[in-house]
Chain A
Amino acid sequence: MDMLYNILIDPFVQMVDAPDFLIQVVWEGFVAGVLYALIALGFVLIYKASGVFNFAQGIMVVFAGLSLVGLHQKGVPAWLALILAIGIMAILAVCIEKFVMRPLVGQPDIILLMATIGMTYFLIGLGEVIFGGEPKQMITSELGLPTGSTAFEMGERGLVILQHIDIAAAVIALLMVGGLAVFFNRTRIGRALRAVADDHTAALSVGISLNQIWAIVWFAAGIVALATGIMWGARSDVSFALEIVALKALPVLILGGFTSIPGAIIGGLIIGIGEKVGEIYWGGLVGGGIESWLAYVIALVFLLFRPQGLFGEKIIERI
């Protein structure tokens, strides 16, 4: 009975008791969700255009962040380091397209997935050789990003603290999604992208250059990775440990669907908020630390009821 009370009633009592705390928890979940969503966004971009499940998105985030900070440490001014980091992502995109994607065109999904895991290994090694393995601090203030925080008092003891960098992260994520939506729907390249996503061969036959499209998409994913790297780096540090956190993008994609940009955002927020609320209000019942798997279980339960994802259409099997 006690157990039931602890599961079904007590958490909600706590929520009502300390609404400021609930707001803070949801806000933290929201910010984590935005970052998950940004990683997932990178996945979606590439999946849409090439059907590749890009496992390397996580390491691209680290690599982009490292390039930026590493260059700055070597004495390059922040603004130049940012431009150079973008340049590095562009070079990386071209290389990936030329040395990985092009030779593997038409291979089954799992092979492409493996290739991106191979890329992950390669990039981890490369990043460490160039920039060293130690975590680096993000050059937040040098980039002109806000660093302070604002506290809102609520009631007698209530307090909600909002970090400016988190607000900036949310705004930047919003801008990126908006930008990408415009890019996809309003530009010539965007149209070509969608054509490629539907059918590679058909797109080729109407004269769309697959190679060019892929390089552009990987570059776009690289930019998203850079933004993610900056934001996440500002929250903790830029280090290779981030790569594992990036796995969280998987359940996000399951919820949102592999091809939907709004899906990635909404999925990210559900996972982010869900796991924070779950951990804080229910995690203690089983000893805490459930955050490491809660997201996957949420996604799993969801899948069992809706195998096609949040925004997917019902699958009709044909023979």
Chain B
Amino acid sequence: MRMKTLLAGSVLMGLAASFAAPAVAEDSVYIQLPTYRTGPYAGSGIHIANGMSDYLAMINERDGGVNGVKIAFDECETGYDTQKGVECYEQAKAKNTLVFNPWSTGITLQVIPKSSVDKIPVLSMAYGLSAAADGNTFPWVFNPPDTYWDGLSAIIKYIGEQEGGMEGLKGKKIGYIFLDAGYGREPIPLLDNLAQKYGFEVLQYPVPGKEMQNQASQWLSIRRDRPDYVVMWGWGAMNPTAIKEAVKNRFDMSKFIGVWWAGGDEDARAGGTGAKGYKSVSFNNVGADYPALQDIKKLVVDAGKSHTPASTIGENLYNRGVVNALYMVEGIRTAQEMTGKKVINAEDMRLGLENLKIDEARLEAIGLKGMIAPIEITCANHSGHHPLFIQEWDGEKWTSATDWFSPLTEEVTPILMQASKDYATSNAPWPTRDDACPAN
């Protein structure tokens, strides 16, 4: 009995302690990383989580933090579940996180309205709500380097080039296989627009979330309809299953292009040798030869401070996790420079992200030159329509199939601004930005 009381008492005390804001040491800032190392999307989530936390740990180890300010971080497991995500958000809010990276479109949609009230910037790197790129309407949300619409337009542009110019798209059939959720449905309006403009036909193949591993029907339909290209918007267990099915149905893999989230190494590997030629659009290069990644290997992974298998460093999703952490770190740095404070808060962080500029020189200094294209976020544009490239699976690893090229920004911008306006009207009264962005 006494044991029980004792245990209960200590649990309660611990709880009380954890609900209170953590006693942040003088020279550290706190970031919560919502991750998912469990559940159906863990296959993708684990690598991202590893990349993010390893990079932050490396910055702490190598540089002693950002300008001497250590980054205290911990993970909050969401299991890709919206309920848990909201719980993580509330927890992060209570612990004064600098920034929130939902890593799920569903959770992003949940926290977007809250973020402006709670004054916590949401960094949804190349996912979430595309319209959030409009910084005038969404001052607290950032989705660099590109939105889904940018991604889709880049893929269409690439297909056009394969067909000898955008006119070549006329009369083509493009299949769109997607996770039947907000994530997969978001690109459809733009796809329809482009189809009308360039005269190609779109065939939709929705994959219900429950049936991710059971895609026989979708691929049979694809076989029947014989689309010229298939574009995939998949995540988690959907990707390897789709690639396997494509191989099985003898679909020409060079005509099968995924969004960046359908570009995991394990996704492609699942298809065996048959997956050779599979493509995905990307905003980061693979490989572990970058100095920063070598530092991670030396200071974090080899030092036993991480559970990351050394072999996965340099894989696509791992590097992408690193990019996400890079944005955060550079955001902190920019905020420090702008405010003159060392220990910044979430509002400062928003300022930092809004003025984030990582050019070639900066990348060189960080030790990631060549891994990503230089990026710049502005007050009005929180995404940036940055250049992308197409990568190709050579049977063992990803290789670049194209150079960096810009998405069809002129196609994307109007629909993006319209969506942002719609969002604000349908959620009226949507808070307006107190400091309007300068008109370029």
Does B210 contact A245, Cβ atoms closer than 8 Å?
Answer: yes
For residue A304, which residues in chain B have a CB less than 8 angstroms away from its CB? none
Contacts A237-B240, A240-B39, A241-B237 given; does A280 touch B220 at CB 8 Å? yes
Q: Nearest A residue to B272 by beta-carbon distance?
A: A147
Give CA–CA (A289, B206) in the complex, Å.
Answer: 6
Give Cα A158–Cα B403 distance, bound, in whole angstroms: 39
Interface pick from B40-48, B54-62, B342-350? B40-48
Q: Are A236 and B210 in touch, CB under 8 angstroms?
A: no
Task: Determine if A241 and B220 form an interchain contact, defined as CB atoms under 8 angstroms apart.
Answer: no
Digit string of B212-231 for contact with A (CB within 8 Å is 1, else 0)? 11111110110110000000
Residues of chain B within 8 A (CB-CB) of A235 are 213, 244
Return chain B residues, CB-CB under 8 Å to A276: 216-217, 220
- Report Cα–Cα, A61/B383, bound state, in Å: 43
Q: Is B180 an interface residue, CB under 8 A from the partner? A: yes
The answer to whether A287 touches B206, judged by C-beta atoms less than 8 angstroms apart, is: yes
Query: Which residues of A have CB within 8 Å of B240?
Result: 135, 137, 236-237
A149 within 8 A of B: yes
- Residues of chain A within 8 A (CB-CB) of B37 are 132-134
Q: How far is the CB of B225 from chain A (nearest CB, A)?
A: 10
User: Across the interface, do B208 and A291 meet the contact criterion of CB distance under 8 Å?
Assistant: yes
Q: Is A77 part of the contact surface with B, judged by Cβ < 8 Å?
A: no
Nearest-neighbour CB distance to chain A for B363, whole angstroms, equals 30
Q: In the assembled complex, which residues on chain A have CB atoms less than 8 Å from the CB atom of B180?
A: 289
Query: Cβ of B270 and Cβ of A237 under 8 Å apart?
Result: yes
Is B114 positioned at the interface, with any CB of A under 8 Å from its CB?
Answer: no
Q: Are A280 and B217 in touch, CB under 8 angstroms?
A: yes
Residue contact A28 to B206, C-beta cutoff 8 Å: no
- Closest chain A residue, CB of each to CB of B225: A284
Bound-state CA distance A139–B206 (Å) is 29
> Out of B217, B224, B236, B237, which one reaches A21, CB within 8 Å?
B224
Would you call B38 and A128 a contact (CB within 8 A)? Answer: yes
A307 to B101, CA, bound (A): 50
Cβ-closest chain A residue relative to B237? A241
B216-A28 in contact (CB<8A): yes
CA distance A63 to B212 in the complex (A): 19
Whether A190 sits at the interface, judged by CB under 8 Å, is no
Residues of A near B214 (CB, < 8 A) are: 32, 236, 245, 291
The answer to the question of A161 belonging to the interface, with a C-beta cut-off of 8 Å to chain B, is yes
The residue from B39, B205, B216 contacting A32, defined by CB atoms under 8 A apart: B216
Instruction: Say whether B244 contacts A24, CB under 8 Å.
Output: no
Please report the C-alpha to C-alpha distance between residue A283 and residue B42 in the assembled complex, in whole angstroms.
30
Given contacts A236-B237, A239-B237, contact A21 B43 (CB under 8 A): no
Contacts of A161 in B (CB 8 A): 248-250
Bound state CA distance, A151 and B42, in angstroms? 35
User: In the bound complex, do residue B206 and residue A288 qualify as a contact, i.e. CB atoms below 8 Å apart?
Assistant: yes
From B39, B210, B220, B236, give the contact of A24 (CB < 8 A).
Answer: B220
B169 to chain A, nearest CB (A): 23
Interface string of A235-267 (1 = CB under 8 A from B): 111011110110100000000000000000000
Q: B266 — which chain A residues lie within 8 A by C-beta?
A: 134-135
Could you say which residues of chain A place their CB within 8 Å of the CB of B409?
Answer: none
Give the residue of A128, A244, A280, A288 whose beta carbon is less than 8 angstroms from that of B210.
A244
Does A163 touch B at the CB level, under 8 Å? yes
B249 CB contacts on chain A under 8 angstroms:
161
A197 CA to B214 CA, complexed, in Å: 34
Is there a chain A Cβ closer than 8 Å to B204's Cβ?
yes
Q: What's the least CB distance linking B112 to chain A, in Å? A: 26
Taking CB atoms, residues of chain A closer than 8 Å to B215 are 236
Inter-chain pairs besides A236-B244, A237-B43, 19 sampled, C-beta below 8 Å? A21-B224, A24-B223, A28-B216, A32-B214, A32-B216, A132-B37, A133-B46, A137-B240, A161-B248, A161-B249, A235-B244, A236-B241, A241-B212, A241-B236, A275-B217, A279-B217, A279-B221, A288-B204, A291-B208
Closest 3 CB pairs of A and B: A133-B42, A241-B40, A133-B38
15 A-B residue pairs with Cβ-Cβ distance under 8 Å, sorted by A, are A24-B220, A28-B220, A133-B43, A135-B43, A135-B240, A232-B213, A236-B213, A236-B237, A237-B43, A241-B212, A245-B213, A280-B221, A284-B221, A288-B204, A289-B208
